[in-house]
Chain A
């Protein structure tokens, strides 16, 4: 991999994009505060910042999804009309959204070509469209099958389609919103190769990221956003990770430091557990896993490889078709969710909005949702609202949930406070097993370190933690041992420190042939 310095763009290259004083408010929140940026042909600009720093808002303004309250945008020397993706496309700006904007039921070619011909043309020239698509794919090394339905593609392939969609429309400026969030380390490296081919061709690239290592792997210039403001712009080669991290967070950050603990008795034991999927390959395929007290077990994998099924199994939402599952020695093959809660399982669900909380209900109602039938909170089928509110006030203060009070509507809380609410609901009762699915997805650095701290506290207290995460950095920071999930199968536990990021990436991509050498070495 060439060093970023060797690819540094000369200061004389043409300025292709100029943002001047972009300001955008959402109600009381100042999402972008007078941001000015320039981008030159052949340059890769990394937009670095925490979640909620305003990176995506800025790019959505650039692409016309939002209209800025003030400020102007110039592309190739011409002012860009605000609020129109069509105008942005015409000006040569292409965007690869974090949540891909592809239609699963349509073919790759349809997804790429739609909207590129005059709408009322009485026929479509599909043969020409296919030729153009294949030529682009070959030129930039983005292999795709034009006639495959997008629904059949892997995440990496979908991203290639998104990039081709922009190139097909002759984009000269490409915006990528958190492009590596869904990729394995190897796929990310492939993406960076593609970006280099694109910039060699004179394209300018903006990519949004909150991961430091990517900034250094792929960018020429880095712009740091914090709380809606542009705090610094540097040539990537002239700065370092430490400095960028401080700029991004606004203070020094300490990584979590798990204390060394001796694992205790097993709390969760899965033996050859299989979960059928109704059709095709099983969701979980003969999975063996043991989680002990004083232990964090990390499950790494690319999304959609069985993580959801594993979480649902441990929550009692689905039952194994084969094998044995036990909690503290007791069989749980047919347990229901309420039974699992009673047995001491704390659940932090993957999607806090859809499965974790009921947004339209009050904070106190959500806090007692798992145990409203307890004597503490209901008697003879009538809720004891006073007791529930008093309990809610306790949890709110113990877990530092920032909200107006127990009667506040839950959906008005920020993501970080919602997650604290869930932690409070589940951890207040001293659980034996904590099932944490994506516990910090979408949270800012402060909230992430709070969640990590609470999980490590529970581990020190004697709980076992099953941490399912797509964020490899999170797993490496917390887990004592790591297992990789791929196509519903789980590797044996690999002790942290005995396995490299590269090896984990290969395992996540399904190259399990390297497994024997890791296990032998460990």
Chain B
């Protein structure tokens, strides 16, 4: 017990929590935006991978870090546009399309990486974002602060602006939105593109902030966790931040417990812990969640 307490009061632990949480915050916000407009985006894993590769590659080719970040977001938005075109105007199954987008995004990233760097055996590195010169756990890279700011921004847009209200209505009842003179197709495509850009930012954080290189499998299921975190958060940005932080606490804790108690239990047990606890949290919290009513329902004009 005292070991856990020691861990919980150390600044290094909380520094790690914020760092680990960042891609989850960005990815969850992105997924949340898509789902609020009524589109499930299971392309998230592939879009994150593309964002990780594209951001890193831009910087590796000589762009500065922020240009890399913007480039990654743009690539994510484009892949999101593909998902949106297939699911919104064409009304294809959102599950199947999303899995297709994930496969495409992942393989496309590996392919481009290999095309540009056919020989590299050890992944080449770039100089990543450096932590700001602040005390304790506040010493984070700028992207972490950007993620926190985006939580506030997304919440503001969704709840305090006309366009946010329109996006929410489109996810709840597209027929009502159309009867109010709104363009359902445009709003859904826009929300999916914006959400996908955020997902790509989450990927870019991995290669330009947390690490300094691009590896295969580096996204490693983070996208799927974000999909679950959206449910955990009941589709609310503030709760999404809370969920991401909670998950990061579990993850940072298991890393340190491995060192303390690694002799007693096999380390895989600790690796499992955050996922098990997430499932438990989902069961406890998400049962009463009221999901967007039109989620996963394609809208076709003039159909009853």
Contacts and interface: CB of A to CB of B under 8 A. Distances in A.
Interface string B232-244: 0000000000000
A236 interface: no
Interface in A89-119: 89-90, 95, 97, 101-106, 110-111, 113-119
B173 A103 contact: yes
Contact of A86 (B181, B293, B301): B181
A65 interface: yes
Contact of B180 (A84, A89, A123, A124): A89
A102 B173 CA distance: 7
Contacts of B162: 114-121, 124
A115 B177 contact: yes
B268 interface: no
Contact of A110 (B169, B175, B182, B301): B169
B161 interface: yes
Contacts of A97: 175, 179
Interface residues of B, number: 23
Given A66-B302, A119-B162, A121-B162, A101 B179 contact: yes
B63 interface: no
Nearest to A120: B163
Majority secondary structure of chain A interface residues (helix, strand, loop or mixed): loop
Majority secondary structure of chain B interface residues (helix, strand, loop or mixed): helix
A86 B186 CA distance: 14
Nearest to B164: A124
A354 B172 CA distance: 22
Nearest to A100: B176
Contacts of A102: 173, 176
Q: Contact size class for A?
A: 20 to 34
Most buried by B among A84, A122, A165: A122
B173 A114 contact: no
A165 B172 CA distance: 17
Given A114-B182, A119-B166, A101 B293 contact: no
B287 to A, nearest CB: 12
A106 B169 contact: yes
Contacts of A110: 165, 168-169
Contact of A105 (B163, B182, B292): B292
A105 B293 contact: yes
Given A89-B180, A105-B292, A115-B177, A124 B172 contact: no
A123 B156 CA distance: 9
A85 interface: yes
B121 interface: no
Given A101-B173, A102-B176, A114 B160 contact: no
Given A119-B163, A119-B166, A124-B162, A103 B181 contact: no
A442 to B, nearest CB: 11
Given A85-B181, A89-B181, A114 B169 contact: yes
A106 B172 CA distance: 8
27 contacts: A63-B179, A65-B178, A85-B179, A85-B180, A86-B182, A89-B181, A95-B179, A97-B179, A103-B172, A104-B172, A104-B293, A105-B290, A105-B292, A106-B168, A110-B168, A111-B169, A114-B162, A114-B177, A114-B180, A114-B182, A115-B166, A115-B169, A115-B180, A124-B160, A124-B162, A124-B165, A165-B180
Interface of A: 63, 65-66, 84-86, 89-90, 95, 97, 101-106, 110-111, 113-124, 165
